[in-house]
A and B are shown apart, each in its own frame.
Chain A
Amino acid sequence: MSASVVFIGGISSVFFGMGLLYLSIKITAMITARLTGKRKENLS
C-alpha cells in the first residue's frame, strides 16, 4: 500500500472515528437524560 493512501486514509479514518464517538456521546446523553427525566416523573 502506498504511503499517500495510508496518509489520507489514516487522517480521515481518525476523524471519522472521533466523529462517531462524538455522535455516540451526544446520543447517550440524550437517552440518559430522557430516562432520568421519566424516572423523576414516575417518582413524583
Chain B
Amino acid sequence: MISHLTSLVKTTGFVYLTPGIIVMWIIGLTLIYLAIKKEYEPLLLLPIGFGILLANLPLSGLMTPGEGLLWKFYEYGIHWEIIPPIIFLGIGAFTDFGPLLANPRLIFLGAGAQAGVYLTFFTAHAMGFDIMEAATIGIIGGADGPTTIFLASKLAPQLLGACAVAAYSYMAMVPIIQPPIMRLMTTEAERKIRMTKGRKVSKQEKLLFPIVSTFLIILLVPASAPLISMLMLGNLFRESGVVERLKHAAQNELMNIVTIFLGVPIGATMNAEAFLQPKVVFIFVLGLCAFMISTATGILLAKLMNLFSSKKINPLLGAAGVSAVPMAARVVHKVGTEADKKNYLLMYAMGPNVAGVIGTVIAAGIFLTLLTS
C-alpha cells in the first residue's frame, strides 16, 4: 500500500521541486505583476511571465524537444524565423515614414544610436562572452524586441530568454532611463532649439520609399532580408491605400496572434538550469549599458551634425534614434517641452525613431553576415 502511494507521489511534480524552480516562479510572477500592475510592456511581459511558470513546472513536458507544445511554438515560430518577421509586418503597417522623409538627414541619428550596440558588443566580448553571445547582448541596445529575438535565435539561442526580457524591460523603462542621460548631455539652450519645418512629402514618395529601401537594404545586407522585407511590405500595405483589409489584419489580428505565440515560448526557454547563471546578471547589466550608450551616442551625433550645419538639430532628437517606437519619441517631446513649453518635437522625433528601427535591423543583419559566413 505504502509503496503504491510512494510511486503515486513520484508521478507528481512536487517531488521534483528545487530552490531554482521556486526562484523562477518568483521571476515569472514578478513579470506578470509588472505587466498587470505597472503596465510595463504587458503584451509581451505577461505571456513571457506565464511561459516562465509553465517551463518550470516539473514533468509538464511542455518544452520536451519534438513533443512539447511550447517547444513546437518555439521551434516552428521562432527558430524557423516565422514570428519576428510577422511582427515586423505589423510594425511596418503601423509606421509612418513621413517624418523621416520630410527631414532625411535625421536618418543618421538612427545610425548614431547603433554605436551603443557595437560598443557593448565589444565590451561583452572583452568580458569573456563568446563572439556570438556578445553580438546578441549588444543588439539589446537597439531597443528592438523582435530584432533581438531574431538575432538571439540565430546566434545564441541559450540567451534568448534573458535577452528578450532585458530588451522588453528596458523598452518599458525608456521614460525612466533616457531623461537623465538627455538632461546630462544637453544644455538648457540646446533643449530649446526649435526644429525648422520639414518639406511636404508627396504620396508618391511615401509609396516609393518601402520599395526602394527594400532593394537597397537587402542588396547591401542580405541577411536582414526577413525583417526588412516584412517591415516594408507592411508599410506598402499602409501607403498603397488599396489593401485596407490587409493593413488592418497586419496591424491587429495577425500582430496580436503572433504576439501570443512569441511571448509564451520565449518565457518557456527560461528554465532554472539555463537562466539562473551568473552571466544572466551580466546580460542585464550590459543590456542596460547598451541602451544608455545608444541614447548618448545618438545625442552626441546630433551635436556633431550641428557643428557642420546651419539648420540646427535639437540634440534631444538623437535619443530617439533607439528604436523603441514611439516611446522614445514621446520622451524626447516631454523633455523638450520641459525646457520650452511650445517646442513640439514629437513629429520630428518620429523621424530618427523609425530610422532607429531600420538601423537596428541593419546592425543585426551585419552581425549575422560577419559572424555566420
Q: A residues bordering B, Cβ < 8 Å?
A: 1, 3-7, 9-11, 13-22, 24-26, 28-29, 32-33, 35-36
B221/A17 in contact, CB under 8 A: yes
Please report which residues of chain B, range 90-149, place their CB below 8 angstroms from some CB of chain A when the two chains form the complex.
Answer: 100-101, 104-105, 107-108, 110-111, 114-115, 117-119, 121-122, 125-126, 131, 134-135
Roughly how many angstroms separate A3 CA and B371 CA in the complex, as a whole number? 10
Let me know if A1 and B370 touch, CB within 8 A: yes
Tell me whether B355 is interfacial, beta carbon within 8 Å.
yes
| B322 at interface by CB-CB < 8 Å | no
A29 (CB) vs chain B CBs: closest residue: B205
B358 with A21: CB separation less than 8 A: yes
User: B residues touching A (Cβ–Cβ < 8 Å)?
Assistant: 100-101, 104-105, 107-108, 110-111, 114-115, 117-119, 121-122, 125-126, 131, 134-135, 199, 201-202, 204-205, 208-209, 212-213, 216-217, 220-221, 355, 358-359, 362-363, 366-367, 370-371
Find the A residue at minimum CB distance from B370: A6
Contacts A6-B131, A11-B115, A25-B107 given; indicate if A20 touches B216 (C-beta within 8 A).
Answer: yes
Question: What are 22 pairs between A and B in contact, CB < 8 Å?
Answer: A1-B371, A3-B122, A3-B131, A3-B134, A7-B122, A10-B117, A10-B118, A10-B121, A10-B366, A10-B367, A14-B111, A17-B111, A17-B221, A18-B107, A18-B359, A20-B216, A20-B220, A21-B358, A22-B108, A25-B107, A25-B209, A28-B208
Chain A residues within an 8 Å CB radius of B131:
1, 3, 6
**Distance to closest chain A CB from B298 (angstroms):** 12
Given contacts A21-B216, A29-B101, contact A6 B121 (CB under 8 A): yes
Tell me which residues across on chain A come within 8 A of B221, comparing CB atoms. Answer: 13, 17
- CB < 8 Å neighbour of B135 from A5, A6, A24, A29: A6
A-chain residues with CB within 8 Å of residue B114 when the two chains form the complex: 11, 14
Q: Is the CB of A36 within 8 A of B204?
A: yes
- In the complex, A23 Cα to B65 Cα: how many Å? 48
Cβ-defined contact, A10 with B208, below 8 A: no
Task: Determine if A22 and B105 form an interchain contact, defined as CB atoms under 8 angstroms apart.
Answer: yes
Tell me which residues across on chain A come within 8 A of B370, comparing CB atoms: 1, 5-6, 9-10
A26 / chain B contacts, CB cutoff of 8 Å:
104
A13: chain B residues within 8 A (beta carbon): 220-221, 362, 366
Report the nearest B residue to A4, measured CB to CB: B122
A18 contacts B362, CB within 8 Å? yes
- The answer for the CA separation of A19 and B208 in the assembled complex, in Å, is 17
- The answer to whether A35 touches B204, judged by C-beta atoms less than 8 angstroms apart, is yes
A36 to chain B, nearest CB (A): 6
Bound complex: CA A8 to CA B371 (Å): 14
What A residues does B367 contact at CB under 8 A? Answer: 6, 10
In the A-B complex, list the 5 residue pairs whose CB atoms are closest, starting with the nearest: A18-B111, A25-B104, A3-B125, A32-B204, A17-B362
Query: In the complex, are the beta carbons of A15 and B216 less than 8 A apart?
Result: no
Minimal Cβ-Cβ distance residue in B for A15 = B111
Across-interface contacts of A7 in B (CB, < 8 A) = 118-119, 121-122
**Which of B105, B118, B205 has a CB less than 8 Å from the CB of A28?**
B205
Whether A14 pairs with B366 at a CB distance below 8 angstroms is yes
- Check A36 against B202 for contact (C-beta < 8 Å): yes
* Docked complex Cα distance between A17 and B219 (Å): 10
Most buried by B among A3, A19, A25, A33: A25
Bound complex: CA of A17 vs CA of B216, how far in Å? 8
Once the chains are docked, how many angstroms separate the CA of A10 from the CA of B131?
Answer: 13
